[in-house]
Structure 1
Amino acid sequence: MKRQKWATWSPETPEQHYFVRPRHLAGGGNLAYITEHLRASGWKDHASRAGTPIVFDSPDHSVRLGYDPSTTPPGWTISGKATPDQPAWHATLSSRIPVEIVAGVTHALTQPRRAHAPNVWAPLREQNWRTDNRDGHHTATSPDGTATIRFHQEEPGTAIWWATAHTEHGKQWEAVFSHHTPMHLVAAFTTALADPEPLLRPRDHVPATQKIHTTSVSALPSQITARLRERITSARATTWAHARTPQPAAPRPHPQPAHTSR
C-alpha cells in the first residue's frame, strides 16, 4: 500500500511592524510599491533585475523613470521629453524618500492631467506647515521642523522646487524638480508629503532617530501583501477601462470647393 502524502498546513506567523510618523522620516520602503503599479498601469519595464537599474517608459514614451542602486547616493530620476505643449523637465528624488511619497508623483503620471492649475502650497497649509516668503523664495516647513520645501529662483527661467528632510543625524533625503516640471506633479508630491497618515514599516526597517513616533502593530504577511495587490488590481482596472474607452476621432478635413475657370 502506497503511503499517501498529505500537505501540511502551516498557519501564518504574525510579524511585528510599526506605524511611523511623520511619514517623511519613515525611510525608503518597498520599491515594488512603485514599480508594480507602473507595470500594471501599462508602463514599459526594461527588464529590470534585482540589483540593477530600474527603467520604465510611459505608454506614450514621453516620460522615463529610473532608479539606480549603484549611484551614490542611489535614487529616483524622472524625465519628461519636450512636447509641443510642454518643455522638457527633470526631477531627482533620493532613495530615502518614502516610496509612498514618490508614488504621489508616479501615480499622477498615470492619470489624465486636470485642466485647472493646482495650488502646490494648499496641501501643506492644510496640515499646518509654516510658510514664509523672503527675497522671492517661497518656503514651507513641517510643524516639527524636520522637512522643508522651497520654490527657489535666482533669475527668470532658473526656478526649481527643492525639498529636504533631516533628523539629528543630518540630511536624510532631498528632492529637486526642474523649472518646467508640470505643476500637477509638484502638487502631487506636496500632497503626499503633507499627508498626516503614518506609514507602515517592518521592525528592522524603522529609522534610528528620535524625531519619529512609532506605534507597534502585529500583521500577517498576507495582510501586508494584500495592500500591494489591491493597489495593483486598481491600476490594472483603470488601465483596462482606459483602453476600452473610444478615443475621439481626428477631425476630417473639409473638402475644398473645386475651382472652375471661365
Structure 2
Amino acid sequence: MNTGPLAAADRILVSPRHLAGQGKPATAFGAVAITTGWWVHTTPNSAHLASPSGDTEIVFDPQGAEGEPRWTVTHTGPVPWQAQFSGATPREPVIAFMYTLKRHSEGTAAEFDLAAFEEPFRTAGWKAEPDGMALRLTSPDAFCTLTRTPEAVVGWQFTNNIFCSNGSRWEASFTEHTPHRLVESFTSSLLNPKPVLRRWDEVPRLTPQFGQITRAASPTPRTPPPAPTSVIPPGRHR
C-alpha cells in the first residue's frame, strides 16, 4: 500500500474483492427493490422483498452479526433453493446476484458443467484440489475458499477469513438446486480483478497488509447551472 495518511472518509480502491469488506450493504437491497412488481416491506430492523409470483423471498437483516446471514434468498417453487450471504460479504457479488435474480428468479438448476465452472477460478490463480467427494477452490492468498459438494444440501460454500480478523470473515452459501446462472453471477463478480471503491473506515483492519489499496481520485465537482438571465429589457423596471 502506498497511499500516505488516510482519513476515515477517504475513498480508496481495494483488490482482491474478497478482502474488500462489504461497503454499504443497502445498495444490494436497491438492486431488487427498484424492480417493478416486487413487493417490498421494511421495518426499522429488517427488510422483506417478494417476487411478483410470490415464490421467491429476500430477507435483509442489517443487524446480523459477522458470520451470520445478513441476506437470505429463498425460492419455494417446484425446485426449491436458498442462498445466504453473511455480514462483511462484499456488496458487488451480492448486487450481481440480485440483478440476475430479478431476471431469473423462477429458474431452476440446469446440468452442471464442472470444467466450465472451474475455468474462471483457474484463470484467476485459484488452486483446485479434491476434498473427499467435494472440490475445494482456494484463492492465491489462501484466505478465501469455495467448497463445491455435489448432491449435498449446500452445494456451494464460500468462506473468507484473515486470521480470525474482525471484519474480514464472511460466508456465502447456495443450496444444491440454486440456478447456476445465479451462482456464476456471484463468482464472476467476486473474481473480477477490477478494484472496488470503499471508504477507508469500511475496510477490514488486515486488508491493507494483504490486499492492494490505492487512493481513489476525488469525485469531479458538479458545475452549477448558469444563473438565469433577466427577461426585463434594459431601462425598464417595475
Tell me whether the two structures share a fold, i.e. TM-score over 0.5: yes
The answer to whether the aligner puts 1:41 opposite 2:35 as a matched pair is yes
TM-fit CA distance, 1:204:
1.9
After TM superposition, the structure 1 = structure 2 runs for residues 68-79 of structure 1, keeping only pairs within 5 Å, are 68-72=61-65, 73=68, 75-79=70-74
1:59 maps to which of 52, 77, 81: 52
SS at match of 1:219: coil
Q: Specify the alignment match of 2:233 in structure 1.
A: none
* Higher deviation after alignment, 89-98 or 110-119: 110-119
Q: Does 1:206 align with 2:203?
A: yes
Deviation at 1:71, TM superposition (A): 3.8
Alignment of 1:101 with 2:93, yes or no, is yes
**Residue 65 to residue 172, structure 1, CA distance change in 2 (3 Å):** same
SS of structure 1 residue aligned to 2:216: strand
Q: Is the 8 A contact 1:16 1:218 kept in 2?
A: no
Instruction: Give the C-alpha shift of residue 132 in structure 1.
Output: 1.1
- Report deviation, 1:74: 5.2
Q: How many residue pairs get matched?
A: 203
CA contact (8 A) 1:42 1:58 kept: no
TM-score of the pair, normalised by structure 2: 0.75
- In the alignment, structure 1 residue 166 sits paired with structure 2 residue 165: no
- Provide the residue aligned with 2:215 in structure 1: 216
Counterpart mapping for 1:1-262 below 5 A: 16-42=10-36, 44-49=38-43, 51-72=44-65, 73=68, 75-83=70-78, 87-112=79-104, 119-152=116-149, 156=151, 158-170=153-165, 172-209=169-206, 210-220=209-219
Q: TM-score, normalised by structure 1?
A: 0.69
* Max Rg structure: 1
Q: RMSD of aligned C-alpha atoms?
A: 2.6
Matched position secondary structure for 1:70: coil
Measured in 1, the distance between the counterparts of 2:85 and 2:152 equals 21
Unaligned runs of 5+ in 2: 1-8, 223-238
Greater shift in the superposed pair: 190-199 or 119-128: 119-128
Residues 1:27 and 1:43: Cα distance change in structure 2 (over 3 Å): farther
Closer, same or farther in 2 for the Cα pair 1:174/1:43, shift >3 Å? farther
Structure 1 residue 32, shift from structure 2 partner: 3.5
Distance in structure 1 (CA, Å) of the matches to 2:49 and 2:216: 34
- Counterpart of 1:166, as a letter, is N
TM-superposed deviation, 1:116: 8.1
Q: Percent identity?
A: 27
